[in-house]
């Protein structure tokens, strides 16, 4: 079914005449006979808008979302409230529909957003350099691995056992052709163990903050042992109002998943990845970077800058292959941070700390529940259950409470957001008690 096009029969005839061919098929003359499809695509005929809407509404209705249950699922993406002004601003065509800002004179809005976003990420991470976004969290970790490998020319990655497993897997997949190896750093009672300076064959050390099991790592202590390697921290940006900034603890690269900053869950994406680094790594950064400059009349303006790093200029010598990234999601991020504001980020972080602590204490008091570790936590914690965690999740879910992510046969990761009240936590405790009884 023709849709979203305007060519009438008369238009088509006039256009073909202007081109000097008889039919549209004549335009495909270069396609050799042997590779023509020669039959209609085996895809159902097009449908009117209301029917497409109904089909998608019916599919959406088959999912049990955070709208339908009390959910404590996290493990990398979190059900935070997305304020209405984000929907309103992101739905503006001027943000939604342009391409990457290749023509700065008519893209000042998008470019200034990138500049403001870079500033916010730089403030959060305490690192001077941020790019304008990468795809998402785990691939940002892999991108940091590539930077570290090409910068240090070294071939070993040390990865904490408490790094998000998706990040570890993505790093392993992505690095298959680099000639690098991955060695694991053990975790004891929630914390990554490193007690001597790493070898000079190490390109980078990867740690989560908070880590996958919710524990706050002592980044300052770890950084003492980084030697000539780069210390890469995957951080949850929403915790950086209350946690020390990675930059002040000697971190070289801080990356992470930006979903917690004003982006929907969307079953895993699109969100954005952030990528911040020390000044020394500026010219090694992947992706787009916006910079401030002036126009011929001396007016302030913004452009994509340091482009000689990028694939369209440097091709096989580029610092990365990234082209399309996550600009719209990064815009959501910077609007969210402006909406929270300087004080709000801290207040929200403090609320999470208090509620998470309450939840951990309340749940740990249940028979059959132990703490996975007893380190301080911000917004998520890991429990050891006396029963199979997958079965416990099923039991609770059937009662309208999704207790979290079963990361192990007995391990349950429970996440708290500002949308989970004390009453919700108490309800979780009730259901969990029943499940373990």
Partner 1 sequence: MSITENQLHADPSIEAHELHPQRSAVIETEQQRDHAKTIYEKSKPGRRAFVAPELDVPKHELPAKFRRAEAPKLPEIAEPEIVRHYNRLSKRNFDLDSGFYPLGSCTMKHNPKLHERVAALPGHARLHPLTNPKRAQGALELMHSLQVALGEIAGLPHVSLQPSAGSHGELAGVLVTRAYHEDRGDFRTKILTPDTAHGTNPATVTMGGYEVVKVGTNADGGVDIEDLRAKADDQVACLMLTNPNTLGVFDANIEEIAKIVHGVGATLYYDGANLNAVMGKTRPGDMGFDIVHYNLHKTFTQPHGGGGPGAGPIAVSDRIEPYITKPQVVKLEDGTFDLDFDRPKSIGRLRGFQGNFGVFVRSYAYILSLGGDGLQEASELAVLNANYLLAKLRELGVTDLLPPAYDRLCMHEFVLSGAPMKRELGLKTLDLAKRLLDHNFHPPTVYFPLLVEEALLIEPTETETKETLDAFAEAMAEILREGAEDPEIARNAPYGTPVRRLDEAGAAKRPVIRQPL
Instruction: Give contact residues for ligand PLP (rule: CB under 6 A).
Output: 323-324
- CB count within 10 Å of CB 393 equals 21
**Which residues, in sequence order, are bridge partners of residue 302?**
292
Interface pick for partner 1 out of 9, 22, 63, 153 (rule CB under 8 A): 63
Residue of 227, 312, 374, 388 interacting with partner 1 (CB under 8 A): 312
DSSP characters over 396-434? HHTTTEE--EE-SSSEEEEE--TTS-HHHHHHHHHHHHH
Please give the structure tokens belonging to residue 270. 């699109």
Is the CB of 64 or the CB of 323 nearer to ligand PLP? Answer: 323
Stretch that binds partner 1, among 132-140, 153-161, 194-202, 225-233 (CB under 8 A): 132-140
Beta bridge partners of 405: 413
Q: Of these partners, partner 1, ligand PLP, none, which one is at the site of residue 400 (CB under 5 to 8 Å by kind)?
A: none
207 and 234 in contact (C-beta within 8 Å)? Answer: yes
Task: Quote the least distance from Cβ 138 to ligand PLP, whole Å.
Answer: 17
The interface partner of residue 9, options being partner 1, ligand PLP, none and the CB cut-off 5 to 8 Å by kind, is none
**Residue 179 binding target from partner 1, ligand PLP, none, CB below 5 to 8 Å by type:** partner 1
Main-chain dihedrals φ then ψ at residue 206, nearest 5 degrees? -115, 125
What is the number of other CB atoms lying within 10 angstroms of the CB of residue 45? 6
Residue in the block written with tokens 């603890």? 249
The window from 79-87, 191-199, 222-230, 429-437 that contacts partner 1 (CB under 8 A) reads 79-87
Residue 1 binds what, of partner 1, ligand PLP, none (CB under 5 to 8 Å, by partner type)? partner 1
Choice between 56 and 323, CB closer to ligand PLP: 323
Identify which of residues 132 and 159 has a Cβ nearer to partner 1 in the complex: 132
Shorter beta-carbon distance to partner 1: residue 26 or 227: 26
Q: How far apart are the first and last CA of the chain?
A: 58
9-31 burial, b for 16+ CB within 10 Å, e for fewer? Answer: eeeeeeeeeeeeeeeeeeeeeee
Region of 16-24, 185-193, 196-204, 364-372 interacting with partner 1 (CB under 8 A): 16-24
Find the shortest distance in angstroms from Cβ 145 to ligand PLP.
19
Q: Which entry of ligand PLP, partner 1, none binds 368, CB below 5 to 8 A by partner kind?
A: none
Q: Which is nearer to ligand PLP, 19 or 323 (CB)?
A: 323
Q: Residue 147 or residue 228: which is nearer to partner 1 going by CB?
A: 147
Q: Is 225 helix (H, G, I), strand (E, B) or coil?
A: coil
Residue 60, CB half-sphere, CA atoms under 13 Å: how many? 9
Q: Is 12 in the site for partner 1 (CB under 8 A)?
A: yes
Shortest spacing between CB 323 and ligand PLP, in angstroms: 3
Q: Kindly report the backbone phi and psi dihedral angles of residue 255, in degrees, each rounded to the nearest multiple of 5, phi listed first.
A: -125, 170
- 270-to-255, 263, 267, 301 alpha-carbon distances in Å: 17, 8, 9, 29
Q: How far apart are CA 197 and CA 287, in angstroms?
A: 31
Distance CA 309, CA 330 (A): 21
Interaction between residue 324 and partner 1 (CB under 8 A)? yes
The dihedral built from the CA positions of residue 135, 138, 144 and 149, taken in this order, carries a sign that is negative
* Coil vs helix vs strand at 322: coil
- If we measure between CA atoms, which residue out of 378, 366, 369 comes closest to residue 426? 366
Q: What angle do CA 80, 212, 155 make, to 5 degrees?
A: 125
Cβ distance to ligand PLP smaller for residue 81 or 102? 102
Q: Three-class SS of residue 195?
A: coil
Considering the complex, state which of residue 202 and residue 375 has its C-beta at the smaller distance from partner 1: 375
State the binding string over 137-156 for partner 1 (x if CB under 8 A, else -): xxx--x---x----------
- Contact between 367 and 396 under an 8 Å Cβ cutoff? The reply is no
Among 308, 365, 388, 391, binds partner 1 (CB under 8 A): 308
Q: Which does 199 bind (CB under 5 to 8 A by kind): partner 1, ligand PLP, none?
A: none
Residue placing its CB nearer to ligand PLP in the complex, 31 or 323: 323
Residue 110 is a binding residue for partner 1 (CB under 8 A):
yes
The structure tokens listed for 30 are 């270069």
Q: Residue 297's binding partner, choosing from ligand PLP, partner 1, none, with beta-carbon cut-off 5 to 8 A by kind?
A: partner 1
Q: Which does 115 bind (CB under 5 to 8 A by kind): ligand PLP, partner 1, none?
A: partner 1
> Does 222 help bind partner 1 (rule: CB under 8 A)?
no
Helix (H, G, I), strand (E, B) or coil at 240: coil
* Closest CB 161 distance from partner 1, rounded Å: 17
């Amino acid at each position: 079914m023709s849709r979203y096009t305007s060519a009438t029969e008369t238009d088509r005839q006039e256009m073909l005449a202007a081109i000097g061919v008889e039919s549209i098929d004549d335009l495909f003359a270069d396609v050799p006979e042997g590779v023509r499809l020669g039959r209609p695509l085996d895809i159902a005929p097009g449908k009117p808008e209301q029917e497409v809407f109904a089909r998608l509404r019916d599919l959406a209705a088959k999912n049990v979302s955070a709208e339908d249950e009390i959910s404590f699922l996290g493990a990398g993406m979190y059900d935070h409230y997305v304020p209405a002004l984000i929907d309103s601003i992101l739905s503006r065509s001027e943000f939604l529909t342009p391409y990457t800002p290749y023509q700065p004179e008519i893209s000042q809005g998008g470019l200034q957003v990138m500049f403001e976003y870079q500033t916010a990420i730089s403030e959060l991470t305490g690192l001077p350099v941020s790019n304008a976004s990468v795809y998402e969290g785990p691939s940002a970790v892999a991108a940091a691995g590539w930077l570290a490998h090409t910068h240090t020319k070294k071939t070993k990655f040390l990865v904490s056992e408490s790094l998000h497993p998706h990040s570890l897997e993505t790093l392993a997949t992505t690095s298959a052709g680099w000639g690098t190896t991955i060695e694991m750093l053990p975790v004891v009672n929630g914390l990554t163990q490193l007690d001597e300076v790493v070898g000079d064959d190490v390109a980078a050390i990867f740690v989560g903050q908070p880590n996958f099991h919710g524990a706050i790592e002592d980044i300052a202590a770890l950084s003492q042992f980084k030697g000539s390697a780069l210390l890469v921290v995957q951080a949850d940006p929403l915790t950086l109002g209350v946690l020390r900034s990675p930059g002040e603890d000697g971190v070289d690269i801080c990356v992470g998943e930006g979903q917690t900053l004003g982006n929907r869950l969307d079953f895993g994406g699109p969100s954005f990845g952030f990528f911040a680094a020390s000044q020394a790594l500026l010219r090694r950064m992947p992706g787009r970077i916006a910079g401030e400059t002036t126009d011929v009349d001396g007016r302030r303006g913004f452009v994509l800058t340091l482009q000689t790093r990028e694939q369209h200029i440097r091709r096989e010598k580029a610092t990365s292959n990234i082209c399309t990234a996550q600009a719209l999601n990064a815009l959501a991020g910077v609007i969210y941070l402006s909406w929270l504001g300087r004080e709000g980020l801290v207040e929200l972080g403090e609320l999470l700390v208090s509620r998470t602590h309450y939840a951990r204490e309340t749940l740990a008091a249940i028979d059959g529940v132990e703490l996975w570790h007893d380190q301080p936590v911000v917004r998520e914690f890991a429990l050891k259950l006396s029963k199979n965690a997958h079965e416990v999740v099923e039991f609770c879910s059937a009662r309208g409470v999704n207790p979290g992510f079963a990361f192990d046969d007995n391990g349950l990761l429970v996440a708290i957001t500002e949308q989970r009240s004390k009453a919700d936590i108490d309800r979780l405790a009730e259901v969990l008690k029943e499940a373990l009884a």
